[in-house]
Structure 1
């Protein structure tokens, strides 16, 4: 059974992707950004990144949001993908997969536009087929699962589940336990609370698990 740990500021991530949502401001995602071993920037996010003095290892996307100045400045690390069927975040994930990178942390994927936020979170279900991926925001962390999993937590930590498949879910070691229940709408498994240092999710369906900071 796989265990998912809470992100820590001193965690050194193998691969970090910075998307073009709200730039991280919480201490945890900011530290992860600064400590990343390999940083891939979605093309639209480069303007905010360079303001911090940080230069990415690669820039990926269709490059429609890239200024002419930055297109010239970073020409040696730009990996252009013109596919209009996928967004820049997916292009960045695909680039990482092509590079053999299997452990990915996504930052800056929420905020600004709600439709982009929902789309980016839901894409975790697609990415999980090929990589170990988590999405960290200024407020918490999202991961996608499709099998029984253990999650590191803190007593009183807010926990939400979002189920896409009509598969039974069992949730243990939370304030409101769930036993073999099928959820039919995303809101139904939200706003729970961990009762200790870990909780258990049992399911065979695609599920997003969120733990608030």
Structure 2
């Protein structure tokens, strides 16, 4: 998976004044208003996708590199961008502009990192000096580094429970822990200078946050994964569809309250 093509996605969230790095040869996707940021940086995307409700600049020209989506659909634009990258063969994703701004979008993007992890890929959300990622039934292995004391590494269970969680080499060396998604027992750990470390989970999915100045971890899975992120979604499913109001409802006078 680490040898698969890398996809870099630009979203419409906050960039915190940082200049995103695009690795050479990476597949670049603009998710809706992320195109504004790519234009400012002078980077040409391989694909632009979205309903363009958050785009401030001109709408991209129609063509094979533009995937226009309807405004009403189940999937957020970020998931659509991930699906485009996955279909291109990418299993490693770097997302800029996916944190900050609307809190609901931030939570959604963190959930998407868990989805990618549960399909055997890895995604990294970059923003405000922090990286957010997820790992399912596997290990994040960090090389020795010199991250300053007080810069936190935190681990949360995304699944109902995560079993046999270990954090060798960190300041608090969690061993064979059980985590749940309603108990906080992995927050505010730290790297030790010059000491390699790891975070692993043998059953479950973890969300992990760490300082952006830390080296990115190598990813190892304990078994193979199947499945993908699904096809692009272009309509509202019956589960989310809003029923039409009965004709007589519009004629009813408002009720004083």
TM-score normalized by the length of structure 2? 0.67
SS of residue matched to 1:125: helix
Matched with 1:111 is 100
How far did residue 17 of structure 1 move? 0.6
Contact 2:155 2:206 (8 Å CA) reproduced:
yes
1:202 alignment partner, one of 184, 200, 203: 200
1:159 alignment partner, one of 149, 153, 157: 153
105-114 or 156-165, larger mean C-alpha shift: 156-165
1:142 alignment partner, one of 115, 132, 140: 132
Number of aligned positions between the proteins: 199
How far did residue 52 of structure 1 move? 2.5
Q: Deviations over 1:122-163 (max 9, x none)?
A: 211111215332222231222211224142153545211011
Q: Deviations over 1:13-45 (max 9, x none)?
A: 732111111135335xx2x13756321000122
Matched with 1:16 is 8
Matched with 2:179 is 183
Q: Larger radius of gyration, structure 1 or 2?
A: 2
More helix by percentage: 1
Deviating runs (4+, > 4 A) in structure 1? none
Cα distance change, pair 25–186 in 1 and its aligned pair in 2 (3 A):
farther
1:173 alignment partner, one of 169, 175, 185: 169
Contact 1:149 1:201 (8 Å CA) reproduced:
yes
Aligned CA RMSD, in angstroms, stands at 2.7
TM-score normalized by the length of structure 1? 0.79
Q: Which runs of 5+ in 2 are unaligned?
A: 214-257
How far did residue 75 of structure 1 move? 4.3
Whole-Å Cα distance in 1 between the matches of residues 56 and 64 of structure 2? 15
Q: Which runs of 5+ in 1 are unaligned?
A: 5-12
